[in-house]
Chains A and B, each alone.
Chain A
Amino acid sequence: MAENSKKSEAVDATPNVSEVEVSDASTTAEVEAVLDAPVERGEPILQVRNLVKHFPLTQGILFKKQVGAVKAVDGVSFDLYQGETLGIVGESGCGKSTVAKLLMTLETATSGEVFYKGQDITKLSGRALKAVRRNIQMVFQDPYTSLNPRMTVGDIIGEPFEIHPEVAPKGDRRKRVQELLDVVGLNPEYINRYPHQFSGGQRQRIGIARGLALNPEIIICDEPVSALDVSVQAQVVNLMEKLQDEFNLSYVFIAHDLSIVRHISDRVGVMYLGKMAEIGTDSEIYDHPTHPYTQALLSAVPVPDPDAREGRERIILTGDVPSPANPPSGCRFRTRCWKAEDKCAQEVPLLAVPEVFAGKKTPAAHESACHFAEEKQVVGAA
């Protein structure tokens, strides 16, 4: 069922999980050649398949035995297309930051694959992995702790060049760092200053400059604006959009601020307790959500319009997110869901276009992991 609808969709919309063309490069040199090849706009650049990360829980000091696992990410699949922004939203503890770390290969995945240009980066090592890391960079959440206070701005932004000297020869580095400062809207003369001499917004610009230093193709942004003041957030979001056009970047944009995610993203994925609950284009998710969790999340967002205070229906979820060490059976959302039935406790709903919408040409026909997916108008949530 899901297969059929995917084919019919492929004409006008990009499917969220496309066929992976695994490259057959075997030697390191071949792999590096594959990684250097450009990807055309609109083609998948990063394909994530059934990504799993379990953190073991151990007991005992000398003879550690595993007593369980925190299932931080439990089978996540999505594609990132060249030149697009994929937003990932979800509450704290849903695994969105772990996904970011897995994409960066800062954590090793328990199972699953991450294909970058057809190469499974979870299996790469040595020079090939280094080449991948050059092309996938990250911007961190907290601009106060992600910059070393004892390094000057020039050293911070120039440090990537020491690991990848082929990008900028030694003599050019200072000039290159000044160019980067200029690109992110900071005065190039600030090169010898220390992080504490900058405000939060300026520090985040330094973090972005560091991410740009190696001319990456993908930037993973883990809550890049949530630590900033409202009036400064807009500046940084604008900068990131400008850089995307200028350097042809693809973004994975992780955040919990739903209105900013909507503004910047082409497609949005909603995560809950280590699984993708719903994924689709921004208007499919925000205007036609079919998963009850997405509906609750959107209705809980405070809308900056006092007139909407009375009229809009709010779904207030009870309780907290269950522990990822012991997630509920079947659908993970069922413990807080108002629609839950026996079926939800037994069968894990698959992330696919729901049967009721399959083949229909409505915006509701996007992938949603719910047995009882249906549209429900959620007012507001801009």
Chain B
Amino acid sequence: MTTMEKTANVPEPRAGDDTAPLLEVRDLHVEFHTRDGVAKAVNGVNYSVSAGETLAVLGESGSGKSVTAQAIMGILDMPPGKIPQGEILFRGQDMLKMSGEERRKIRGSKIAMIFQDALSSLNPVLSVGYQLGEMYRVHQGLSKKEAKAKAIDLMDRVRIPAAKERVNDYPHQFSGGMRQRIMIAMALALEPDLIIADEPTTALDVTVQAQVMDLLAELQREYNMGLILITHDLGVVADVADKIAVMYAGRIVETAPVGELYKRPAHPYTRGLLDSIPRLDQKGQELYAIKGLPPNLLHIPTGCAFNPRCPKATDLCRTDIPALHQVTEKDGAELAGRGSACHFWKETIHG
């Protein structure tokens, strides 16, 4: 079958995979100039993803997680958006300094994105086969006929039943889970090195969510892709992520490998999020709730942005912005990959 051929020639060695990260975001800032003032959506984000690795970016709405992803993809609305400083290195090259033409070559073929709402991300007046084939026609210059054959292959690969018969169907004729599979197929079309999935299963039911996440994880293994998973669901993160970056008000407040984060959060915000999940033994009791509301990005509080909602805030938190500290064990041994942007991370993690 065609699927077999595809998988056979895919995991070709990729240059310089082993040491250097695939993508590195350094001190990225994004702001939006609006009538009401400057909204600082992203304020100095750093993260990196290697091939085959899954980075989960966790945060509430307005925390800047999607804006960061859009900046990486280069699909940010500019204006009103603006990137005053920062670097986005893809295989060591700064994408922000590239020309539009160079970026277009990367977008889709090297870095692809899966959007949250498949119904509004697909064009309702074009058949899914045409939309899938567009990737090949535009990037590889294939003919219409060849592109359609490739589209059928793709639909097979994401396990859409009866792909041949359904290739000429329109998005509304597919169910939510199938539509999301088409989105995944579109992202996979050119076998990119990195996939950014922005809340890929938020609009789906749990049983379908399990199917889609399984498929995504399997394809990632098969192609040894890097995956940035943007989500607010702590359950999904625990299931698939390797490492986690927690965002709050445009900043990364904590980074950690997945197991560590759930066991010993080192930032009060992460701890609050974990505590507000209903647990069995708390039945009938009041849930822990982080008081207050997420900050308005036009008026981010001074000092640590979380200080008005934090139970441990002191005067220091209201004046000084905490840097992302390296988290260590009690005896001073460094914990690999762990960081916390809290003045009192020691107290938070070690009690």
Contacts and interface: CB of A to CB of B under 8 A. Distances in A.
Contact of B210 (A262, A307, A314): A314
A233 B288 CA distance: 10
B60 A229 contact: yes
Nearest to A287: B280
Contacts of B236: 302
Interface stretch (A53-61, A134-142, A149-157, A253-261): A253-261
Contact of B273 (A231, A301, A306): A231
Contacts of A242: 286
Given A304-B234, A305-B262, A256 B205 contact: yes
A35 interface: no
Contact of A234 (B213, B289, B294): B289
B277 A259 contact: yes
A164 interface: no
Contact of B207 (A233, A309, A317): A317
B334 interface: no
Size range of the interface on B?
35 or more
Interface in A230-277: 230-235, 237-238, 241-242, 256, 258-260, 262-263
A317 B176 CA distance: 15
Interface in B287-335: 287-291, 293-294
Contacts of A201: 293
B86 interface: no
B238 A306 contact: yes
A305 B238 contact: yes
B206 A301 contact: yes
Contact of B278 (A235, A259, A296, A317): A259
A28 interface: no
A231 B294 contact: yes
Contacts of A199: 293-294
A229 B294 contact: yes
A382 interface: yes
B278 A230 contact: no
A300 B238 contact: no
30 contacts: A91-B205, A91-B206, A202-B293, A229-B61, A229-B232, A229-B294, A231-B290, A234-B287, A234-B288, A234-B289, A234-B290, A235-B289, A235-B291, A238-B289, A242-B286, A262-B280, A263-B283, A297-B206, A302-B210, A303-B238, A304-B237, A304-B238, A306-B238, A309-B238, A309-B239, A316-B214, A317-B210, A320-B178, A382-B277, A382-B280
Given A237-B287, A302-B210, 6 more contacts: A229-B294, A300-B206, A303-B238, A303-B239, A304-B237, A307-B259
